[in-house]
Amino acid sequence: MHAHQTLTLSRSGALATLTLNRPHALNAWNEALAGELSEAIGDLSSDSSVRAVVITGNGRAFCAGADVREGFPTGPDGHWDIHTRLVEVHHPVITGIRAMPKPVIAAVNGPAAGIGCSLALACDIVLAAESAYFLLAFVNIGLAPDGGASAFVPARAGLGRAVEMAMLGEPVHAPKALEWGLANRVVPDGELMSAATALGARLAQGPTLAYAAAKRELNAWALGHLRQQLALEADEQQTLARSADHAEGVRAFLERRPAEFIGG
């Protein structure tokens, strides 16, 4: 394993716990975090001594999404180059989790917003603290779901609920997330990590080959077009990145005021 600045990695036998560690930014993804997360997912996937993985966040949030304050690199047209960041940095995290031949548990300790929601739902089993919530926050800055959210949410919760999350941009709190199927289990805040560790330890002692086969089967049935969907999301995001509504959404976010969208 490599040393990471934005993540912490702990081991308990065959169970590895990966913790997003930018608590001052609510564990929002910047280039460093996304890159280190991708590297860590690859390392854990190929490490035969690791038989199950837990992903969680340090502090008050699981992950608040992309770091809008830090932004994205600017493309030749002067707008954020979201497409390149998604394809080269974010997508390997999501596809890496789905391809990992071992169970991955999300321990959602607080808000899971934007790409943070995508990260949680990319995992095999989602445990949520009672105070946690899931939010497709993209629409609030004039963007559409990415990170596979447009595949994961309808696969778990159905098309109607995915439309509601994508277009209204309202949080789905843990009890409703459990009812909708976004979360597998909800536990008291103070019991989240003990519950996740116990479940991870149980899975780490199980039939790894059978888990991997089940994951491939479920991927094929429910997420067989994930890579095409990720490509579509990246294309749509780049188109939206050039829009006046996106520029207004980012300004409003940074200025902490309601956005005034014009539909262009």
- Encoded amino acid at 249, one letter: G
For residue 169, the tally of other CB atoms under 10 A from its CB is 16
Our answer to whether residue 146 is catalytic in this structure is yes
Find the catalytic residue in 91, 124, 245, 246: 91
- Encoded amino acid at 121, one letter: L
Find the catalytic residue in 4, 90, 124, 146: 146
Tell me whether strands 15-20 and 7-12 are parallel, antiparallel or unpaired: antiparallel
Sign of CA dihedral 130, 136, 138, 142: negative
Q: How far apart are CA 143 and CA 224, in angstroms?
A: 24
Tell me whether strands 15-20 and 52-57 are parallel, antiparallel or unpaired: parallel
Helix, strand, coil content of the chain in percent (nearest 5): 50, 15, 30
Length of the chain: 264
Q: How far apart are CA 171 and CA 227, in angstroms?
A: 26
Q: Are residues 167 and 137 in contact, defined by beta-carbon separation less than 8 angstroms?
A: no
Q: How far apart are CA 203 and CA 205, in angstroms?
A: 5
Our answer to whether residue 246 is catalytic in this structure is no
Residue 138's contacts (CB-CB under 8 Å, 6 or more residues apart) are: 114, 144, 145, 146, 149, 166, 169
Q: Are residues 195 and 185 in contact, defined by beta-carbon separation less than 8 angstroms?
A: yes
Q: Are residues 120 and 27 in contact, defined by beta-carbon separation less than 8 angstroms?
A: no
Question: Known catalytic residues?
Answer: 91, 146
